[in-house]
Amino acid sequence: MKSIVGVDVSKDTFDVFVLEHGKHRQFLNTKSGFKQFWSYLLKLDIHKPQACMEATGLYWENLAEYLHKKGAIVFVVNARRIKGFAMSEHKRTKTDKVDAGVIARFCRAHIAELKSWCPPSAEVRKLQSLTRQLDSLKGDRARQLVRLQSALLCSEVSESIKNYIKFLNGSINKMEEAIGILIQKDKPIEKQYDLAISIKGVGPVTASTVLAECRLFREFSDRRQVTAFAGLDVSEFLSGSSIHMKPRLSKRGNSRIRKAMYMAAVCAKRHNPTIRTFYNKLLDNGKTKMQAIGACMRKLLEIIFAVVKSGKRFDPKHVQNLSKQQSLVA
């Protein structure tokens, strides 16, 4: 069996645990840190490691691509599975060092069923880059618009902000145009995009963002994996009779998808009969408006996944049958 390496990635560093040698090391989450990690493996006479890491946030992507280019076998695993495995080992301590060891042992136990990770295509990566820049530009514009409302601004500052907003508007238009051109030129992306926007409430920005961040759903086989990747899965906190916290969204996942799904859910609860009925039912059952919106975000993402995987445009009359046949929609 090839050497298994568990990798726990955070913003600034990543911890590794080489299962074969029982060794732990920490490296910087930078290009130089990647090189030091690879040199460390070569010193251990490991030339083609099987590296396993969690699919949480965005910090793992550069390391995964680096290892893939070096010829390593990379596994990117749903964080919920790692958490469940840790619970099965009765782990009460949670540190980056411990997590790396848990990930390595999980990989050893489930390696026969794990699917190796491959980087997204150049087109998908470009779509991801464009949608992220669009989101950043819109965020900047929103902040400047808020500043413009202040009555304390002198005329020079006010004029400067207005010019900056005008510049941002132009940049936003260019990004939206570039996204549209890319979608039209790439048939697989265009097909999934057309399917996604057939759902009322899912607009161009939501569709392009979800497809980019989920990499056309190629790495997901069921709805639970998708909702966990987005951090829209539900976490429960129960312990004995004294600790009983309300279930809530884990938010341990891709925040860009959650942001896109929030805006889509707000729109869909007004214009999509399926989501509107679902939302009102939750309110009738005592859920707060924010809890209901969170559930609609998850429901809508599941529907997008179901529609894309089925290859059929959204039809509210058939959505329940679709969920039963594919086990995609809750």
Cα distances from 78 to residues 103, 127, 207, in angstroms, run 11, 23, 22
| Residue 326 in this model has a pLDDT that exceeds 50 | no
CB 271 within 8 A of CB 236: no
Mean pLDDT of the chain: 87
According to CATH, the topology of domain 4-110 is Nucleotidyltransferase; domain 5 (3.30.420)
Task: Note the pLDDT tens digit of each residue in 138-174.
Answer: 999 999 999 998 778 899 999 999 999 999 999 999 9
Q: In the structure encoding, which two tokens stand for residue 216, read together? A: 């056309």
| Residue 317 in this model has a pLDDT that exceeds 90 | no
Task: Note the pLDDT tens digit of each residue in 202-258.
Answer: 999 999 999 999 999 988 888 888 998 888 876 544 444 444 446 667 676 788 999
Task: Note the pLDDT tens digit of each residue in 86-103.
Answer: 888 766 666 767 889 999
Strands 234-239 and 243-249: what pairing?
antiparallel
Task: Supply the pLDDT for residue 260.
Answer: 95
Crossing angle for the helix pair 31-43 and 61-69, to the nearest 10 degrees? 50
CB 278 within 8 A of CB 299: yes
Average pLDDT of the segment spanning 180-204: 96
Task: Output Rg (C-alpha) for the chain, integer angstroms.
Answer: 22
Distance, in Å, from the CA atom of 144 to the CA atom of 148, rounded to the nearest integer, reads: 6
SS3 14: strand
Strands 50-54 and 4-9: what pairing?
parallel
SS3 54: strand
- Domain map of the chain by residue range? 4-110, 122-185, 212-326
